[in-house]
Amino acid sequence: MARLISLALILGLVFTVSARAQNSVAGSWDLAINGPEGPITAGAVLKQDGDKVTGTLSSPQGETAVAGTMTGTTMALAFTVATPQGNLDIKVTAEVNGAEMKGMMDFGMGQADFTGKKK
């Protein structure tokens, strides 16, 4: 009986560690954004420390810092870009599945869906 309980605990720990490792967003990502004015190719370099996510988003419009959280398979990021009309706050939500992500960017006045693949 003690062996069975020990085996169950070990298996539970292995699956928990595996699930956490698979949900890491740390690394370089290629992003394809379906923007309001057509497709946009972008890149992201993300770091993850527990549930905290930070990094840089690069697009033809420039580079900006991003920050947010990773909870389970859901990532939430926010960043601000300077435009001729003033600063624009953008919120990002995505479901991460290993080396792929799929989500939405909310620009306040509209949204765009996107996909990402880890390099």
| 110 pLDDT higher than 50 | yes
24-118 has CATH 3.40.50.2300 classification: no
Give the model's confidence band at 1: pLDDT under 50 very low, under 70 low, under 90 confident, else very high. Answer: very low
Q: Look over the chain and give the mean of its residue pLDDT values, rounded to a whole number.
A: 84
> Which residues partner with 30 through β-bridges?
43, 117
User: Is the confidence at residue 29, as pLDDT, over 80?
Assistant: yes
So where are the chain's domains? 24-118
Least confident of 16-25, 41-50, 80-89: 16-25
| Closest by Cα among 1, 98, 107 to 116 | 98
The two tokens of residue 80 are 């601000």
Q: Residue 13's pLDDT band (boundaries 50, 70, 90)?
A: very low
